[in-house]
Chains A and B, each alone.
Chain A
Amino acid sequence: MRTLKFLLQKEFRQIFRDKANVRMIFMMPVIQLLILPWAADYEIKNIKLSVADHDHSTYSRQLVSKITSSGYFQLTGYKDSYEKSLEQIEDDEADIILEIPASFEKTLIKENEAKLFVASNAINGVKGSLGSAYLRSILQDFNREVRLEWIQMPKFNPQTQIEVTSSNWFNPSMNYKFFMVPGMLVLLLTMVGTNLTAINIVKEKEIGTIEQINVTPVKKYHFIIGKLIPFWVLGLIAMTMGLIIAFVIYGILPLGSYLTIYGFAAVYLLAVLGLGLLISTFVSTQQQAMLISFFIMMIFVLLSGLYTSIDSMPVWAQWITRFNPVTYFIEVMRMVVLKGSTFADIKIHLLKITGFAVALNGLAILSYRKRS
Chain B
Amino acid sequence: MMQSISVQHIVKTYSEKKQTIKALNDISFEVSKGELFGIIGPDGAGKTSLFRILTTLLLADSGTATVEGLDVVKDLKAIRKISGYMPGRFSLYQDLSVIENLNFFATIFNTTVDENYDLIKDIYSQIEPFKHRRAGKLSGGMKQKLALSCALIHRPTVLFLDEPTTGVDAVSRKEFWEMLRRLKEQGITILVSTPYMDEASMCDRVALMQSGSIMTINTPQGIVQSFKNAIFGVRAKNMLHLLNDLKSNEMVSQAYPSGIYHHVIMKNGESKEELSAYLQTKNHQQLEIIDSTPTIEDCFMNLMQENNE
Contacts and interface: CB of A to CB of B under 8 A. Distances in A.
A144 interface: no
Interface in A201-221: 207-209, 211-218
A215 B110 contact: no
A312 B112 CA distance: 62
B57 A3 contact: no
A216 B58 CA distance: 14
Given A3-B110, A216-B109, A372-B59, A207 B80 contact: no
Interface stretch (A6-14, A161-169, A185-193, A283-291): A6-14
B117 interface: no
A21 to B, nearest CB: 10
Nearest to A3: B108
Given A211-B57, A218-B108, A371-B76, A10 B96 contact: yes
Interface stretch (B83-91, B246-254, B300-308): B83-91
Residue from A13, A211, A217 having most chain B Cβ neighbours under 10 A = A217
A217 B77 contact: yes
A220 to B, nearest CB: 11
Is chain A's interface secondary structure helix, strand, loop, or mixed overall?
Answer: helix
A3 B107 contact: yes
Contacts of A207: 91, 94
A208 B89 contact: yes
Interface centre among A7, A211, A212, by most B CB within 10 Å? A212
Interface string B149-168: 01000000000000000000
Interface residues of B, number: 29
A215 B83 contact: yes
A202 B42 CA distance: 30
B144 interface: no
B92 A212 contact: yes
B108 A216 contact: yes
A110 interface: no
B93 interface: yes
B195 to A, nearest CB: 19
A155 interface: no
A7 B91 contact: no
B140 to A, nearest CB: 16
A213 B96 contact: no
Contacts of A10: 93, 96, 100, 104
Contacts, number: 69
Interface in A323-372: 370-372
B92, B105, B107 — most chain A CB neighbours (10 Å): B107
B100 A13 contact: yes
Interface string A212-241: 111111100000000000000000000000
Contacts of B56: 215, 371
A284 to B, nearest CB: 14
A92 interface: no
A115 interface: no
A7 B108 contact: yes
A371 B87 contact: no
Name the residue among A209, A216, A370, A372 with the largest chain B CB count within 10 angstroms: A216
A328 to B, nearest CB: 36
B80 A216 contact: yes
Contacts of A218: 108
Contacts of B76: 371
A3 B59 CA distance: 27
A341 B169 CA distance: 68
Given A6-B108, A217-B109, A212 B91 contact: yes
Nearest to B83: A215
B87 A208 contact: yes
A18 B76 CA distance: 35
Given A13-B100, A216-B105, A217-B81, A209 B59 contact: no
A183 to B, nearest CB: 35
B100 A6 contact: no
Interface of B: 55-59, 76-77, 80-81, 83, 85, 87, 89-96, 100, 103-105, 107-110, 150
